[in-house]
Chains A and B, each alone.
Chain A
Amino acid sequence: MRYESITEAIGNTPLVRIDPAVHGLVHIDLYAKLEMLNPFGSVKDRPAWNMAGPHLATAAERGETVVELSSGNTAKALALLAGMHGLRFKSVTNRMRIPEIKELLLLLGAEIEELPGRSECLDPTDTDDPLTRFHQALAEPGGTYLHTDQYFNPRNTEAHASGTGPEIIKDLDGRAPDWFIACVGTAGSSTGVARVLREHDPDVRVLGLVAHKSDFIPGIRTIDEVHQVGLFDPATYDTIESVTADEAIDGMVTLIRRCGLLSGPTGGAAFHGAVRHLRAIDDELTERRTAVFIVCDRAESYTGYVRQRRPELVGRPPLKNSAAALTEAQVRAEAAVIDTEAARRWISDGDPAPLVIDLRGPHAYAALHIDGSVNITDELFGELLRGGLPFSKRQPVLLACPVGEKSARYAALLTRMGHPDVRSLSGGIIAWRDAGAPLVRD
């Protein structure tokens, strides 16, 4: 397939049948609409392009910055679209909760503004909430922003009403599915698709999925948060149900490990919510039915999210030469320690004198350190040791950290690795300072 621009590759995503052996539904064919296969990686490519597309040329002339309240996929798509047109993109967000996405956005050239947290000493009469100020700033005359406004912009919904919805009908040989299941984020996809499906067949039932209130699932709002979305209309949905983060991850793992679909947690939530809802109905059915859910984006950015909630899913064997693997008792038994006074004598009279390694961060080292010491930050030092001893066994070593805790750990590890004379400065640089021993800066 040959294209003039990557934007032509947006849409026309595959509709893939989920193996009944996986979902266990007897009378219902369950299909996944693979929005993750859009070129920028998610369902948001469609609205991003539909909302920004018509304005990009003018915006480029005026030197405007594209701006959106998004911490995820919309920001990703808009950043790429802006970049293609020589525009800057700014993402304004409460808090970026997925570090990988944050880094990815920075890689894409986005600028990120994180809004202040909630006030601790609350003034209930304060009308100056950060979002209000954001909107005021956009509305200022002479402003140079192209605000796509995904939560209120009807062109978000329209992208799905003209694309995603008709594609589903076409791929089901001109029929609407009996159920359509979507997670509610901006409500754009669910509202747009539902409208088209219902126009085609008024009996289509629409299940909207929201995140369980105390949970966080990327790209899905909780039942409270959906009320703040301009495009959200409760009448769109026959049912609204909530999904927990755990269930979303379960669904995601099933799609990945059993269906070959590299879905992220949002798609997992849709799958889990769909099967849970349909299972009860399936028992009553006698004829064949169809259901479609949306796989919103891909898995790769969410390994940290999974590690935090379900570490066993990304479990790895312990690393070689790891200081963290030593127990407190092992450290106590195996680390040789030396106090400030003895350490000073060792440094001045030792033959050979010890190599002094300061394990603190570079700024702290630059500010004050033991004269003649070498700075290798603890994390780097740890990495270094994975490969083996980074200095000769004939070279005595004195390790120093702030309080003598990390240095003892590394001293124990080096001893285990066969080094005969490594000692840890007991009480660390703080004890050294408190004993009145000299510290220098360059």
Chain B
Amino acid sequence: MRVPLYLQPRLEPPLSSLLEATPFLHSLADALGSPLNVLLPDRIAENAERFRAVYRKHHLTGRVTFAHKANRSSALLRRLAATDPGSTGVDVASLGELQHALSCGFTPDRITATGPKDPRFLWLAARTGVTVHPDSLTELEQLAELVRKFALPRVDVLPRLSGFETATGSGVSGVKVLSRRSRFGTPVGEVGALLDALERHRDAVEPVGVAYHLDTTGLTEKAVALEQCVVVMDELRARGLDPRIVDIGGGFGVGYVEDAGQWERYTTELANAVLGTRPALTWRGHGYGLRNEGGTLRGALGLYPAHRPTAGPGYLDDLLSAPAPASGRPPATLLLEHLYDLAVQPGRALVDQCGAVLARVLDVRPTDSGDHLVRVGMNAGDMSLEEHGVLVDPLLLPREGGQGQGDEGPVGIRLVGNLCLEADLITRRTVYLPRLPHVGDLLAFANTAGYAMDFHAHVAQRQPLARTVAVVRDGGSWRWCPDEEYWPITQSGGPAS
């Protein structure tokens, strides 16, 4: 057959060793059903520590805050709550997430509230004293009104800014760094009115800094935004306020595919398949955003860059180190010189390597195309890497005694879900595995804790939702408990007394 186009996942301990514990994972899935979400809470603490190391390298202070929306697990939050309170926190984007964060042990000083908010969310945030990121001038006014009306304590606020698109030069000659428009935040062009409002509402809100979050992998755009935040901070200071924090949001990324060569080969062949110079690699010739117009490739590849040489903490390091366009000083230096703290809000990057989704193989049958159809006990909502444009292979975890049936060797498979729906594809691409799966085997979708685990899960057709378990290393073996039963004090032999 053709050379299999593998996209093997990047695996680090403890996830790599967990996925070698095949009998253990089979026994979990036998007892708890398919799909099954498996989480490694200890790794989130390790990831936070890696971000902290970048802070230390640049002598920066401030919190690393987990964007809760990436995963709704309790175990991950509770484990993070148990790390150094001065350097880690959680960012919530709904009333439910705020309640959850409080219940998991985060004190209000470690919680920030972002995103669009309703009055109940604002009230609980203000009542408990978490830091609020007002999304707009209107929301700031609303919050101030609420504080006065219900005699709440003054609320720390970090207004979110946006629209940093700007020219560094004046007149015709200059460089304009364009940025995708965001529907969140106050455009820097209108910041004057925001500052006026902050001054006006000083009895109700205390501006402790400013924030931004840009949905881009581009370092320059983020550096431009950071530079302009520093200017706004100085403006606040000039108005007699004492802002301390620049919150630069998240978007630090995760590397999903280990090998750069595999990723390059795959994307090249995908382009060739779209151009028709090789057999299709996807269901109905789907091009992931690419299309063939008279032999020329048009469109843009709508895929997450699955292999990333630097991601997460490394990306933050790059961002802090490269000279910013206007001042020519690296962002880390700018923050230090202006005496500001740095806050970051990684979601995906903080839960890198924190878990996997297991799915049982239910049916395997050949098709006309030569590829096999493999149906698993979950649907596209249960494991949504595809929805997020991430292409990476699952791992095959054979059932005991299921090997050596004479059909060894790499195969191309089509992965379909358990819904009675043509479109329920786990992925639209043909996945290559080292051998054909058998009914009863498990497929493990590694590194799915960030946005791909329960973000899109639903109960359509009364298919079961995945159960979620937390797993911790216990000497040479593994211990597990339901996600909601996990507490950071849990040790071998039950909770520590």
Contact = CB atoms under 8 A, between A and B. Distances in A.
A96 B215 CA distance: 20
A52 B448 CA distance: 51
A364 B388 contact: no
B369 interface: no
Interface string B201-240: 0000000000000011111110000000011001001100
Given A228-B296, A229-B296, A405-B59, A114 B336 contact: no
Interface string A116-133: 111111101010011110
Point out which of B172, B175, B177, B299 has the most chain A C-beta atoms below 10 A from its C-beta: B175
A113 interface: yes
Contacts of A366: 234
A231 B180 CA distance: 29
B178 interface: yes
B337 A360 contact: yes
Nearest to A129: B300
A223 B268 CA distance: 8
Contacts of A88: 172
Contacts of B253: 120
Contacts of A289: none
A214 interface: yes
A227 interface: yes
A430 interface: yes
Interface in A84-118: 88, 95-96, 102, 106, 109-118
Contact of B221 (A117, A129, A430): A117
B128 interface: no
B439 to A, nearest CB: 31
B215 A120 contact: yes
B221 to A, nearest CB: 6
B179 A116 contact: yes
Contacts of B305: 118
A39 interface: no
A106 B174 contact: yes
Interface stretch (B1-9, B327-335, B484-492): B327-335
A403 B251 contact: no
B260 A214 contact: yes
Contacts of B365: none
B221 A116 contact: yes
A121 B169 CA distance: 30
A433 interface: yes
A122 B303 contact: yes
**Contact count band on A:** 35 or more
B220 A114 contact: yes
B338 A120 contact: no
A223 B275 CA distance: 13
A316 interface: no
B75 to A, nearest CB: 23
B184 interface: no
A179 to B, nearest CB: 25
A28 interface: no
Interface string A188-203: 0000000000000000
B304 interface: yes
A352 interface: no
B177 A114 contact: yes
A433 B334 contact: no
A299 B344 CA distance: 41
Contacts of A106: 169, 173-175
A367 B336 CA distance: 13
Interface string B245-289: 000001101000000100010011001000100000000000011
Interface string A341-368: 0000000000000000000110111111
B153 interface: no
Contacts of A121: 215, 251, 388, 451
Interface in B324-352: 327, 329, 333-334, 336-339
Contacts of B389: 122, 124
Contacts of A360: 336-337
Contacts of B288: 124
A364 B338 contact: yes
Contacts of A401: 337
Given A124-B302, A361-B327, A433-B339, A115 B175 contact: no
Contact of A367 (B174, B296, B338): B338
A110 B169 CA distance: 11
A429 B275 contact: no
Given A227-B275, A361-B337, A110 B268 contact: no
Contacts of B215: 119-121
A230 interface: yes
B298 interface: yes
B124 interface: no
Contact of B218 (A95, A229, A230, A405): A95
B120 interface: no
Contacts of B174: 106, 111-112
A396 interface: no
B180 A116 contact: yes
A22 B264 CA distance: 34
Contacts of A241: none
B404 interface: no
Nearest to A434: B339
Given A119-B217, A224-B271, A363-B230, 8 more contacts: A88-B172, A109-B173, A111-B172, A114-B178, A116-B178, A227-B271, A361-B337, A433-B339
15 contacts: A111-B172, A116-B218, A118-B218, A119-B180, A213-B268, A224-B271, A228-B296, A228-B298, A230-B296, A233-B295, A364-B334, A367-B238, A402-B339, A405-B59, A430-B339
Interface of A: 88, 95-96, 102, 106, 109-122, 124, 126, 129-132, 213-214, 223-224, 227-230, 232-233, 360-361, 363-368, 401-403, 405, 428-430, 433, 441
Interface of B: 59, 169, 172-180, 215-221, 230-231, 234, 237-238, 250-251, 253, 260, 264, 267-268, 271, 275, 288-289, 295-300, 302-305, 327, 329, 333-334, 336-339, 387-390, 451
Complex A-B, nearest 9 residue pairs according to Cβ-Cβ distance, in ascending order: A117-B218, A364-B337, A402-B336, A360-B337, A227-B297, A129-B300, A120-B251, A122-B389, A117-B216
